[in-house]
Amino acid sequence: MTNPHPGRDIGTLRAQAEARASSAYVTVVLLGKGGDGLEERRQIARLLERGGMNVVIPEDDLPREQSASLAEEEMLLHGDADLVFLNVDSWGTATEFGQLHDREPVGRKLRVLVPAPYHPLYGDKGGYLTDLYLTHLAVFGHVYAVGMGGRIAAPTAQEAVVRLAERFSEAKRAQRWVTK
């Protein structure tokens, strides 16, 4: 094989590329409901961490002495999160979505997981929240149908989060398209 960079050692080029790849980390924030939803997020976090990503689950990682809503907002607005996943599967998470979707810089990092029947393009349910999903989809392009129902075969929330986060991490390591 011919060296595509005459005058530069292939081993040095490979070492530089590997150093860039190992230093490009991705921070993922997982938001959603408590109870079973919290345990699901912890399972997702373990999968993402095995892939070399930093994962934040506010209930586990933010100080308990501070108001949860204030600490979470501070982290999302001023922290170094690359991706913020919100599984909208309760009225509390629907409220959280309404509060976050148009807040810079959170809105462009926000990946919204919605039950398939409520997805604005593929679902068969309507209403105010579905309309808000459509706005977010049109502006930011990140509303994903998950779970059973609707007119499409949707992945589970776990499958969607892991697949999207892994590809984002891969693109960031390749230093393509990804900006904060």
Give the pLDDT means over successive 10-residue stretches in the chain (180 positions).
55 57 76 91 94 92 86 88 93 90 89 92 87 90 83 83 88 67
The alpha-helical segments, DSSP class H, found in the chain are 10-23, 36-50, 58-61, 68-78, 91-100, 106-109, 128-140, 157-173
Amino acid at the residue 127: G
| Tokens, residue 173 | 């390591």
Would you list the domain boundaries of the chain?
Answer: 30-173
Residues 6+ apart with CB under 8 A from 7: none
- Residue 113 β-bridge partners: 87, 144
pTM over 0.85, yes/no = no
Looking at residue 64, what is its pLDDT? 85
Phi-psi region of 8 (alpha: psi -120 to 50; beta: other; left: phi over 0): beta
Looking at residue 68, what is its pLDDT? 81
